[in-house]
Every structure is written in C-alpha cells, then in structure tokens.
Structure 1
Amino acid sequence: MASRRTVTQVLRAASRIHLQQPVATVRHRSTIVQQSPFLTKPSSSQLLLRTTVRAYSQASQESKIWSFEEIQKLSQEAKPSVTIIDVREPGELQQTGHIPHAINIPINSAPDSFHITPEEFEDRFGFPRPAKDADVVFYCKAGVRSRGAAGIARDAGYTKVGEYPGSWLDWFEKNGKVER
C-alpha cells in the first residue's frame, strides 16, 4: 500500500495534468471508470484505479501459466526441475496438506521473503532460497495470492516465474495427490 506522502505527491502531480482527450473506459473487477474530456483533475480513486489496473495487467502477462496436468506431472518427478511454492499460511497447510514437493513461503506473513539475503531466508524457512534464474511456480488456495507472489518474485529479480491459477482448489477438486 502506498504511503500517505506518496499518494499526496501523486495527486498533486495529477492536479497539474489537463486531459485533452477522453481516457478509455477501464474495467477493474466490477468497477467501471470513464473520464470525461472536460475532467482536468481526476479524483484520487480514479487515479489510483487506473494505476492499479495497469500494474495488475502487466503482472499477469509475464508469468507462465501452469495447468493441473503440468503441475501433476511435475509433482510426480523424484527431483522436480521446477520449484513449486505454496504461498498459503502454515495453518492452512496443516489443515489441508500441500502438493508433493512444494515448499511453503507464506506471502501474507512474510512478503519480504524474496528480497532478503539467502542466509536470512534459510534461517527463516529452514531450506535454501530458490536461485533467481531457477524456474518457480506459485500457488495458493484460489490463485489470488499466487499472482501477487509471482509479481513480488519478479520485482526481486526472478526471471522464470510461473503461476498455477487453479491453485489448491483446482488441485483438490481434481484429486491431485496430497502430502501432509
């Protein structure tokens, strides 16, 4: 979340912008925003909404999307060539289990995980941090947190990032093998 100071600076800069043409209609979740050609000072919600949509759409385009079948094949390998990362909280894993060979890096309680040193990472989680040039695929319960984790990993310099958008719900529904 942006700090109050950052938002204030952005809004001040936006107040100096005079739109000559209408901005296209933008759909974000269930909200639609269309700016008028006469609007010279967008509201903070319109400005932040436009920024959010742009960042959201870029993040989803850069990840490789993995299917159930691909994850299932990967989970059956003795030593998977891709690191499967479960970003749910440890309590969720205790209740449901996880995909075989997946490591747990909870994104809500440890959002800085991909930005800390390898030593700090290993101290915190008990296993080495995946290399920045290694293939990694993220999943969570329903695909929302995994998308965020993929963006965080890319921001930290990871280049081969993937997402399993069906995540745990899809895995469980299709009777994927579960480890506890």
Structure 2
Amino acid sequence: MFRRSLASSSSSLLRSSSSLLSVVARPLLMSSTVTLSARASLFQPTCSGSIRCKSSTYELASEGKSTHVKDLKRDWAEKGPVAFEEMKDISKRASSSTDVMILDVRELAEIQQGNIPSSLPLPLSLLEESLKLDPQEWEERLGFRKPGRDQPIVVYCRSGKRSQSAMDKMTLEGNVEDRFTNIRNYSGSWNDWSEKYKPTREEEDDD
C-alpha cells in the first residue's frame, strides 16, 4: 500500500509539473506556431525552445530554478524584401548604432567598385566565422559595431542571392540564442541600385 501511495504521489507531481508549464506558457502562445521541447522532472519542470509569434520570438530557457522569457523584435523582418524606393530612404538614415544597419555581403573586390551609401562590408565568405565573434572581437576585426540580435538589418549583394543566403545563415543556423530576428533582404541588390539610383548634385559634390 505504501508503494502504491508513493507511486500515486509521484505521478500526481509529474502531472502538476506539466500542468504548471502549460499554464505558464499558455498566455504567451495565443495563436502562435510553437516549437517547444519540455521535460518534466519530479520536483522541477525544465524547458527549452522558441515560440514564434506575429511580431516577436519568445525564447524559453531554464537556468537553475527559474524559467524566463526574452522578447526579441521581429517587426522589421515581417515587412519582407526591401524594394528600391524604400532602400533609398533607408540608406539616408542608416546607422550602425541607432537605426537600420545595411550589410554588404559581396566580396571586397566587388565593394571597391561601388556600394550603397551607409552600407558596411561583411563578405559572405567571412560571415560564418564573424558570427562566432563576441562584440569586441567583431569590432576589432570588421571595424564597426556588432548589431544587436533584433536590430533592424538590411543585407544586399550583387543580385540578391548571396544576401538571401546571408540572411538564412543569420536567422536560421547556429545556436538559437545567437540567431538574429529582424533582417530583410534587398532582393534587387546592387544590380537594381546601380541601374536606378541617380545621385543628387549635393551627393555628387560630396564625392
């Protein structure tokens, strides 16, 4: 009888732990698509994974006795690919520290032939290794500040294919906690820009 009672109590604890996890997560999920892995232990539920909502990615991580959620912005990414007219406006206000960051993922020899104003060089061939750098190493090697994970970013290349690959690497590959959440691709890229962009007289004088 004692064994049966202990087994029953353990089973109840496990059900309670799972129910608690469900109750805590439910207000966040709403109608979201969920990718979540969970493991209930006898005394402490633990979980890991990510929950994608319309404008945010919620990451659940267990550290010691607490499970917490970090909200990462996705509002910029949800606008989809960037077109030329919007790119003109972005290039005028882009900044590596406060607003949208423009990353040119072409190789350096290509960049030397011309680039979009305010863009910063990050060749696709260096991207994978660069993403592993901490902020200080990033700035020392690349010469500009490492963007925040949910900072608005636009990537471009020559035709839009390599920049799509760069966006995929930054948003889908590697550890979940290192991925970027707010990136858009200028799908026309340099081919589109060089064909359509006409600098003003002021911009020509500055050159």
TM-score band by shorter chain is 0.5 to 0.7
> 2: CA distance between counterparts of 1:149 and 1:120?
20
TM-score (ref. length: structure 1): 0.59
SS at match of 2:190: helix
Query: Are the aligned partners of 2:93 and 2:100 in contact in 1 as well (CA < 8 Å)?
Result: no
TM-score (ref. length: structure 2): 0.52
Deviation of residue 139 (structure 1)?
0.2
Of structures 1 and 2, the one with the larger relative CO (CA 8 A, separation 6+) is: 1
User: Mind listing any 5+ residue stretches in structure 1 that lack a counterpart?
Assistant: 1-60
Alignment of structure 1 residues 38-53 onto 2, 5 Å = none
Higher strand share: 2
Residue 99 (1) aligns with residue 116 (2): yes
Deviation of residue 62 (structure 1)?
7.3
- 1:82-115 CA deviation, whole Å, 9 max, x = no partner? 11110011111112x1111101111124432223
> In the alignment, which of 58, 71, 85 is matched to residue 103 of structure 2?
85
Aligned residue identity for 1:167: S
> 2: CA distance between counterparts of 1:89 and 1:109?
9
User: Mind listing any 5+ residue stretches in structure 2 that lack a counterpart?
Assistant: 1-76
Over the matched positions of the two proteins, sequence identity in percent amounts to 37
63 and 140 in structure 1: CA distance in 2 versus 1, 3 angstrom threshold: farther
SS at match of 1:150: helix
Runs (4+) of structure 1 moved beyond 6 Å? none
> 2: CA distance between counterparts of 1:101 and 1:146?
17
> 1: CA distance between counterparts of 2:120 and 2:183?
15
> In the alignment, which of 133, 140, 147 is matched to residue 150 of structure 2?
133
CA RMSD, aligned part only? Answer: 2.5
**1:159 corresponds to:** 181
Residue 65 (1) aligns with residue 87 (2): no
Residue 118 (1) aligns with residue 118 (2): no
> Higher Cα Rg: structure 1 or 2?
2
78 and 164 in structure 1: CA distance in 2 versus 1, 3 angstrom threshold: closer
